[in-house]
Structure 1
Amino acid sequence: MREVRAEPLTAAAFAPFGDVLEAAGHPDKVINAGWCDRFHDRARLDFGPGGRAGISLFRARPRSLPYECAMLERHPEGSQAFVPMAQMPWLVIVAPDESGRPAAPRAFLPAEGQAINLHRGVWHGVLTPLADPGLFAVIDRIGGTPNIEEHFLDAPFVVTS
Structure 2
Amino acid sequence: MQVITPAPLTATAFAPYGDILDATGDFRLINEGMCQRHHDRASLDFGPEGRAGISVFQATPRALPYTFDLIERHPDGSQAFVPMTQHPFLVIVADGPDATPLAFLTNGAQGINLRCGVWHGVLTPLHAPGLFAVIDRIGPTPNLQEHRYSDSWTVLAP
Task: Provide Cα deviations, 1:108-131, integer angstroms capped at 9, x if missing partner.
Answer: 110121000000000000000111
Task: Provide Cα deviations, 1:32-89, integer angstroms capped at 9, x if missing partner.
Answer: 1211111000000000011000000000001100000101000000000000001222
Q: Does the 8 Å contact 1:102/1:123 carry over to 2?
A: no
Q: Distance in 1 between matches of 2:6 and 2:127?
A: 16
Q: Which moved more, 1:74-83 or 1:102-111?
A: 102-111
TM-score by length of 1: 0.95
Match of 1:50 in 2: 49
SS of the residue aligned with 2:80? strand
Q: Distance in 2 between matches of 1:55 and 1:102?
A: 31
Structure 2 gaps, min length 5: none
Q: Distance in 1 between matches of 2:30 and 2:87?
A: 29
TM-score by length of 2: 0.97
What is the identity, as a one-letter code, of the residue corresponding to 2:6?
A
What is the identity, as a one-letter code, of the residue corresponding to 2:79?
Q
Q: Does 1:120 align with 2:116?
A: yes
Structure 1 gaps, min length 5: none
Moved over 3 A (4+): none
Q: Does the 8 Å contact 1:72/1:102 carry over to 2?
A: no
SS of the residue aligned with 1:44? coil
What is the percentage of aligned positions where both structures have the same residue?
A: 61
Match of 2:126 in 1: 130
Q: Given the alignment, which residue of 134, 145, 151 partners 1:149?
A: 145
